Each structure stands twice: as structure tokens, then as C-alpha cells.
Amino acid sequence: MDKMTKLNRSFSLYLSLVLIVLCIGAFTITSKAADSYWDSNTIPSTRQKDLLYDDAELLSASEQEDLTKRLNEVSNRWDCTIAILTVDTPINSIQDFADDYFDYNGMGADHNGNGILLVLNMDDRSYWFSTSGTAISAFTDYGLSKMFDKMSSDLGDNYYHDAFVTYTEVCDDYLEMYSKGTPYDVGVKQPKDVVKGLLLSFLAALLVALVPIFVMASHLKSVTAKHSAKGYQAHDGLHMRVHRDTYLRSHVTKTEIPRDNDRSGGFSGGSSTHMSSSGSTHGGGGGHF
């Protein structure tokens, strides 16, 4: 009996050790450390990575080709790098990660440090826009949040190619507006909004105009049957013989008052900036999809 338990114990110890080693191995194989995405913590003079780096493998080869073409087009047109990075790894701060990726891979090198990078992290479904140079002013906080709104349903439905196409198109629009001196911000309207406005108000007018018509039509009917004998009650009214209200019992329930978390929202305009680890200034914004 003693010999058996001793053997069992050492065997199970050995087994658990093997399992631990395997787990660590599997873990290291499937996820990369955050800083493996750049070679060193210095800002290079040329761009080190492609405009589109789909490390999380969300896109097919043809989709990647199409997107890369679009990214190149818009970047060259406005002298501002438009880039996309997808990863699937646990990251502490996606903001720092995005800024560092941009700086340490020289993503802005082609266009005087101007650029915007969209990072998608499938590990926790978080995203971040990192801006640099003139892109900080072209992509305001409000503008970035509106851009995400346009992409959110596609991202939620896993239509990544469509979402990224929207990204390139909106970047194109925003840079155009910036070049004209009015970057998209709270209170600034895109020309597309006017068309949308005309359409919405037209539909609303069609619906609401029906209301007075229905009101006028209802006036056409003046014949209604009378369902009660109201007005025919005798003047002496009700003769009440028993009028009794009896108290039975009472019942008290109490519920705890829930604590509310304050959520601040609303944009006041402009672009907020911060300094990244490399010392460069970055703007941007993000959240979860």
C-alpha cells in the first residue's frame, strides 16, 4: 500500500510539471508580446511595416490587396499615412501600443510624420485611432467618434473588409475638409449631411402631414351610438343603503437604492493630445466594438 501511494504521488507530480511546461509553450506560441511588433524603441527614418498589417488574420488575400491599394491612394493624395493594424494579443494599454507601433515603425516617415493608424485588438475587441502630425488636427475627437459610429455595425457583424473600406473613405473625407480649412468637428457639417437632412425631413414631413388630414377626416363622422344611460338618472340620485369601507391590512416593501456611475459624454470640439513613450505628441481615440 505504501509503495503504491509513493509511486502515485511522484507520477502525478511529474505529469503536472509536463502539463505546465506544455501550457507555457502553447501560450508563448499563440500570442506575441506587445513589443515584438517593433524592432527597437527608436524612431527609424523609413517606414518599417506595410500600411496594412493583418496579424489577426481577419482578411483574405484579395481583401488585403484591395485595402492596401486604397490606403496607398488616400495616403498619397493627402500626404498623410493611413494605416491599419490588427492583432490578437493581450495588451495593457492599446493607446500606448498604437502610439509606439506608429513611432517605432516610422509609419509617418513617408509623409513628414503625418499619419493615422487604426489598431484592432481581437483579444478584447478593442480599437484605437492614433494620429500624428497634421492628422492630429484633421481627425478631431468628435470626428473620430463619428468615424467609429460609421464602422461599428460592420465591425460588430465581423465584416472587417467593409469596415476598413469605410475607414479609408472617411479618412479621405476628413482630410479633404481639413485641406479646406474646416476639419470635421462638432458644429461643422459635411456636404453629405445636407443631403441626408433633406431626405429625413422629407420623410418626416410626409408622415406628420398625415396627422391633420386624419384629424379633419375624423370630423366627418358625427354619428356615434350612446352606450350608457348617462343623463337619464333621476334627480334624486343614488339611494345608498350600505356604504362601507373596511381596512384589512398593510404591507411594506423596501428596496436598496442602487449606486449610479457618472458617465461623462459629449464633445466640446478640437483634438486632445498626449505624449507617447517616444516623446512624440499623438492625438486619437478608441473603445470597444
Partner 1 sequence: MEFDPVSQKLKCPFCDSVFDVKDYVANHNSNSQGQVVEDGSDTQQGSEPLYVYSCGSCGGEILATESLGSMKCPFCSNNVVVKEVFTGTFKPDCIIPFKHTREEAIDNYKKHVKSKKLVPKFFLDQNHIDEIKAVYVPFWLFNATVDYDAHYECTKSRTWSDSRYNYHETKYYEVQRTGSENFENVPVDGSREMPDDLMESLEPFDFRELVPFNMGYLAGFLANKYNVSVDESKPRAVARIKSSVPADFRNTVSGYSTVHTLMEHMDFTKESYKYALYPVYVLNTTWNGENYLFAMNGQSGKFVGNLPFSMAEAVKRYIPIALILWFVFFVIYYAMF
* Cβ within 8 Å of residue 209, ≥6 positions away: none
- The span from the first CA to the last CA of the chain, in angstroms, equals 59
Rounded least distance, CB 144 to partner 1, Å: 18
Burial class (CB in 10 A: 0-12, 13-18, 19+), 50: middle
> What mask, x for binding partner 1 by CB under 8 A, covers residues 252 to 271?
xxxxxx--------------
Residue 4 lies near partner 1 (rule: CB under 8 A): no
CA dihedral 272, 274, 276, 279 (to 10 degrees): 120
Dihedrals phi, psi of 223, to nearest 5 degrees:
-95, 115
Sheet holding 115-121, edge to edge: 52-54, 81-87, 115-121, 126-132, 281-288, 273-275
Residue 150 lies near partner 1 (rule: CB under 8 A): no
Q: Which of 180, 192, 230, 263 binds partner 1 (CB under 8 A)?
A: 230
DSSP state of 121: E
DSSP state of 57: -
Residue 5 lies near partner 1 (rule: CB under 8 A): no
Comparison of 165 and 188: residue with beta carbon closer to partner 1: 188
Closest CA to 135 of 150, 118, 116: 116
Segment contacting partner 1 by CB under 8 A, of 44-52, 112-120, 248-256, 266-274? 248-256
What SS3 state is found at 186? Answer: coil
Q: Which of 181, 191, 212, 279 binds partner 1 (CB under 8 A)?
A: 212
Comparison of 18 and 213: residue with beta carbon closer to partner 1: 213
Cell numbers at 105, concatenated: 515603425
Residue 249 lies near partner 1 (rule: CB under 8 A): yes
Residue 224 lies near partner 1 (rule: CB under 8 A): yes
Residue 195 lies near partner 1 (rule: CB under 8 A): no
Comparison of 90 and 197: residue with beta carbon closer to partner 1: 197
Rounded least distance, CB 134 to partner 1, Å: 26
Closest CA to 271 of 176, 164, 133: 133
Q: Which of 3, 180, 226, 263 binds partner 1 (CB under 8 A)?
A: 226
Comparison of 52 and 177: residue with beta carbon closer to partner 1: 177
Comparison of 244 and 263: residue with beta carbon closer to partner 1: 244
Handedness of CA 64, 83, 77, 139 (dihedral sign): positive
Cell numbers at 65, concatenated: 490587396
Residues in contact with partner 1, counted by CB under 8 A, come to a total of 56
- Residue with C-alpha cell 464633445? 267
Q: Which of 1, 4, 13, 216 binds partner 1 (CB under 8 A)?
A: 216
Residue 198 lies near partner 1 (rule: CB under 8 A): yes
List residues near partner 1 by CB under 8 A: 189, 193-194, 197-198, 200-202, 204-206, 208-210, 212-213, 216-217, 219-234, 236-257
